[in-house]
Structure 1
């Protein structure tokens, strides 16, 4: 959830308030003209000098601001709710969307081109933007938002020298495991064997031991769809304790997922096998050392939240484990 936490004093000290929706009048919240620092989580917020979203405006994106440029001069707060993932704005030379135009999709210093101090109005096709009076994000600001076209800048006419789109808050990912759709299979592979023979007519004593180490492995991986919105560096965790319990695996309860990575662990396991002391006459006793291998696939529903916008996509968690080693005894007449 997007929210803003505002503080009475700098460095997040003094009385504080937390808001998750726009506040047209901080007087009603007993917090008027007293904000000196703030923290933003999720989508950006616009802080206004006067009530009802009027007067000078300043935008704050996700992060901490221990000292505001204009402290103790805030009377309303507005949450930016637009989809900020694919911004576009058109600036016009004259009022009422006349004259030359310039379409922007990325941050731009207009001082590097022919449209510096030329704009008189704008239309925002997507996202939300900040227009600055001076280069390098300096001077007076105007927030430009989709569905809020401005046909006349008034005093801001011919003063725009810098424009930038607002960034969405960091994405959060909620993973839901679709256990009812899991698929799993096991198989046994012979990795060693030991044989004892009694060709005589009488029962024979036969005692020996096999003590060896065998390699076992665990592999966890997560497959994303090719067009996933989850970028490198974004991570989330999956609770895999049901898999651990159902197949008796030596795994942690959670698997942390990051796009492009997988987790493989290999270890050696020692097993000691003793033959029985008696073998019946005309009998072949075979001991097979078996490794049980498991392959489980479970679909995962991922809800990706960026500020007020969310999307859903499916991925797949896969666990391959060969950590269970057993001995199988078999007698045959000879």
Structure 2
């Protein structure tokens, strides 16, 4: 969701209003010339001192701003709808896209090159950019967008000193486990064996009832595709609730994944096995303790929304479970 929340007082005080689409005239919203703080969620927003997206402008990316530029002088709001991934802008020395040109794909301080205070027009190939009057993001701003090539800067001609691309808000990721495409391998292994022998003619008892305790575990792991566009530090949850009848190898319903962090979770628990207290006459009793190990691999469809851009990629969820422990009893006459 891309939205802006504006407040009539600094530090988010007073009356607040929320907008999810551009507002050409805040008079119609009964909120003109009164904004003193704001919060942005998702793509950046541009605020203007005049109606219909005109006058002085200032851009705000995702975040919270307890004070704002143009305090009590904002009359229109515009959300940036461009795809902000892989930005590119071409600056031109003269108006109408003439003269020398400079192609940029990253933030650049023009003071250190031959294009300082030179640009008079531009074309944006991808994304949206902010052009600054002074270095280090200082002075007046002008927003350059892929949908609005500008052939003449007017008073801004030969004044551009710093350029940077706008960044999208945090990605919203929806993870869907494709259980119909899972691979599952199941095996049982013997983790302990106890033998009792009764050579007598009468039923024989252990001196006390015997308990044994074993450790079981479940390990979850998530792997990203090699070509993932998810940025480092981005986290999301995978709903690992099993399909009906297959909830025997996961302890919880969700698994939190963070790109660049640890994507493995292991849970352990103790399982107690009660052994029989009596052995029949002339009988050998063997108790085998078995652990059922289940290894499941299943693709995960990731729908990633960044600003107004949505794309799909795939990862892999893997669950290795050994939390099912049982006892198998075998009697043999001797």
TM-score exceeds 0.5: yes
Aligned to 1:297: 297
Q: CA deviation at 1:185?
A: 3.4
Deviates more, 1:288-297 or 1:122-131: 288-297
Is the 8 Å Cα contact of residues 5 and 18 (structure 2) preserved in structure 1? yes
Is the 8 Å Cα contact of residues 196 and 279 (structure 2) preserved in structure 1? no
Aligned to 2:204: 205
Task: Evaluate the alpha carbon distance shift between residue 274 and residue 132 of structure 1 in structure 2; reply closer, same or farther with a 3 A threshold.
Answer: closer
- How far, CA to CA, are the matches of 1:25 and 1:231 in structure 2? 36
Deviates more, 1:211-220 or 1:40-49: 211-220
| 2:275 equivalent to 1:271 | no
Q: CA deviation at 1:210?
A: 4.9
Is the 8 Å Cα contact of residues 106 and 164 (structure 2) preserved in structure 1? yes
Is the 8 Å Cα contact of residues 126 and 146 (structure 2) preserved in structure 1? yes
Task: Evaluate the alpha carbon distance shift between residue 65 and residue 245 of structure 1 in structure 2; reply closer, same or farther with a 3 A threshold.
Answer: farther
Superposition map of 1:43-54 within 5 A: 43-54=43-54
Q: CA deviation at 1:91?
A: 0.8
Deviates more, 1:205-214 or 1:141-150: 205-214
- How far, CA to CA, are the matches of 2:257 and 2:190 in structure 1? 33
Aligned to 2:313: 313
- How far, CA to CA, are the matches of 1:246 and 1:265 in structure 2? 19
Task: Evaluate the alpha carbon distance shift between residue 285 and residue 161 of structure 1 in structure 2; reply closer, same or farther with a 3 A threshold.
Answer: same
Q: CA deviation at 1:242?
A: 3.0
Q: CA deviation at 1:220?
A: 0.7
Is the 8 Å Cα contact of residues 244 and 250 (structure 1) preserved in structure 2? no
- How far, CA to CA, are the matches of 2:55 and 2:297 in structure 1? 57
- How far, CA to CA, are the matches of 2:331 and 2:150 in structure 1? 90
Is the 8 Å Cα contact of residues 271 and 325 (structure 2) preserved in structure 1? no
- How far, CA to CA, are the matches of 2:318 and 2:241 in structure 1? 14
| 2:161 equivalent to 1:161 | yes
- How far, CA to CA, are the matches of 1:306 and 1:250 in structure 2? 31
5+ residue gaps in structure 1?
none
Q: Secondary structure at the match of 2:246?
A: helix
Aligned to 1:73: 73
* TM-score (structure 1 length as normaliser): 0.92
Aligned to 2:194: 194
Task: Evaluate the alpha carbon distance shift between residue 320 and residue 276 of structure 1 in structure 2; reply closer, same or farther with a 3 A threshold.
Answer: same
- How far, CA to CA, are the matches of 2:185 and 2:157 in structure 1? 69
Q: Secondary structure at the match of 1:90?
A: strand
Q: Secondary structure at the match of 1:188?
A: strand
- How far, CA to CA, are the matches of 1:262 and 1:71 in structure 2? 45
Superposition map of 1:214-225 within 5 A: 214-225=214-225
Q: CA deviation at 1:328?
A: 0.5
Aligned to 2:124: 124
Q: CA deviation at 1:178?
A: 2.3
Deviates more, 1:213-222 or 1:118-127: 213-222
Q: CA RMSD in A?
A: 2.1
Task: Evaluate the alpha carbon distance shift between residue 321 and residue 68 of structure 1 in structure 2; reply closer, same or farther with a 3 A threshold.
Answer: same
- How far, CA to CA, are the matches of 2:244 and 2:318 in structure 1? 13
Q: Secondary structure at the match of 1:101?
A: strand
- How far, CA to CA, are the matches of 1:9 and 1:245 in structure 2? 55
- How far, CA to CA, are the matches of 1:225 and 1:212 in structure 2? 43
- How far, CA to CA, are the matches of 1:115 and 1:45 in structure 2? 28
* TM-score (structure 2 length as normaliser): 0.92
Q: Secondary structure at the match of 2:96?
A: helix
5+ residue gaps in structure 2?
none
Deviates more, 1:180-189 or 1:296-305: 180-189
- How far, CA to CA, are the matches of 2:269 and 2:77 in structure 1? 60
Superposition map of 1:19-58 within 5 A: 19-58=19-58
